[in-house]
Structure 1
Amino acid sequence: MKKSIFLVMDMTNDLVSETGASAASYGVQVKNRGVLENTRKAIDAARKAGVPVGFVRVGFSPDYRECPPASPIFSKARDNGLFQLGTPGTETHPALGQTAADFDIVKHRVSPFYATSLEAILSANGIERVILCGVSTNGVVHSGARDAHDRDFECIILEDCCAGVTEAEHDHAIACLGRYATILNSDQFDFAS
């Protein structure tokens, strides 16, 4: 069995909850695609196979000291009170069942690797393969797969555990990601392999 980790990325209340800040965009796509249910089944399968789970969350200090003012993605976070660490919005959606045994990786940019503990976690645990899912497909999943690929990890993306703002955005990202990762549905992947 390859040493693997399952990264569940940006599945926070602000982004994926039906009552969160992004309910009208990501929330709709997450619900329509069954992303939370599919991801929970994949998390349970990973745990059963002994594969560690890492939750990656975007978040900023209460004063937004890490928030880049020129970023088209994050510049409005401060104005709208989004992604503030310590608030319910930056907590992992409860349907996913995050536990104290799971890795909790906080990021301040799109990539799960940039200025986070992720690379050290992968190295310390002898990880060879990274299984990824998250919201958004064209954001954190795309960035994470490319960065993992360039660090010589085998990459698997669980397509039915991802969503974009729109179906078209998700589909376009998945089409591009096939160059960097193997794309599978969660029921096609055996975590014990």
Structure 2
Amino acid sequence: MSSALLVMDVQRDIVAAVDDGSEYLPRLRRAIDGARAADIPVIYVVIALRPGFPEVGTRNRALAAIAQAGLYVEGAPGTEIHPDVAPRPGDVVVTKKRASAFSGSDLDLVLRARGIDSLVLTGIATSAVVLSTLCRANDLDFGLTVLSDACLDPDPEVHRVLTERLFPQWADVLTADDWVKTLVSR
């Protein structure tokens, strides 16, 4: 199997709103470094909406709230990937328009073109991009791993239930350090 590490929605404004000093970014950085050392592609996924939000419908409550707050506009500083985990030159950055990394993006095309059939998921928020992407990737028959402590959610109990109860039904769930250890033992 050919794998890729997805780093999803780890953008300045999202990190500022959710990370409470939990050492999330250093854990994610270790996963990124481990993937690179094992020659596993790191693919970044960001949410970025057009100025004026023409792609946001009024029935989508989450996106309507984002538009109302004026968040995640293409080119805005807060929409940039957090510098602590920023991509390197040549890394793929996929822009999405909804919760799932597959929605409104060319992620599936990028993965298929590279022969990737297994995904390692990380990101903010566990209950949004990670959950939505996991569901879609499962439907698309990707092999799946979720790095539980390289995902973050504003609600710790929701994160716990997802990573301990729901995600294991569809994916291997490991910590970032345990996953990196599996790469070294290959």
Normalising by structure 2, we get a TM-score of 0.93
**Gap regions ≥5 residues in structure 2:** none
Residues 99-178 of structure 1 mapped to structure 2, 5 A cutoff: 99-174=88-163, 175-178=165-168
**Gap regions ≥5 residues in structure 1:** none
In structure 1, the residue corresponding to 2:63 is in which secondary structure? coil
How far 1:159 sits from its partner (Å)?
0.5
Asked whether the equivalents of residues 36 and 42 of structure 2 are also in contact (C-alpha less than 8 Å), the reply is yes
What's 2:171 paired with? 181
Q: 1:34-86: CA deviations, max 9, x gaps? A: 21110111101111111111111111011211123221211022221101110
Asked whether the equivalents of residues 51 and 191 of structure 1 are also in contact (C-alpha less than 8 Å), the reply is no
AA aligned opposite 2:178: Q
Does residue 27 of the first structure (1) align with residue 1 of the second (2)? no
In structure 2, the residue corresponding to 1:66 is in which secondary structure? coil
Identity of aligned residues (%): 31
Asked whether the equivalents of residues 39 and 161 of structure 1 are also in contact (C-alpha less than 8 Å), the reply is yes
In structure 2, the residue corresponding to 1:73 is in which secondary structure? helix
What's 1:13 paired with? 12
- In 1, the alpha carbon distance for the partners of 2:124 and 2:157 equals 14
Structure with more helix by fraction: 2
What's 2:60 paired with? 71
- In 2, the alpha carbon distance for the partners of 1:78 and 1:130 equals 30
Q: 1:149-175: CA deviations, max 9, x gaps? A: 111111000011011112111112212
What's 1:55 paired with? 44
Asked whether the equivalents of residues 13 and 90 of structure 1 are also in contact (C-alpha less than 8 Å), the reply is yes
In structure 2, the residue corresponding to 1:74 is in which secondary structure? helix
- In 2, the alpha carbon distance for the partners of 1:132 and 1:161 equals 8
The equivalent position to 2:27 in structure 1, one of 38, 51, 68, is 38
Normalising by structure 1, we get a TM-score of 0.90
- In 1, the alpha carbon distance for the partners of 2:14 and 2:93 equals 17
AA aligned opposite 2:51: P
Asked whether the equivalents of residues 5 and 127 of structure 1 are also in contact (C-alpha less than 8 Å), the reply is yes
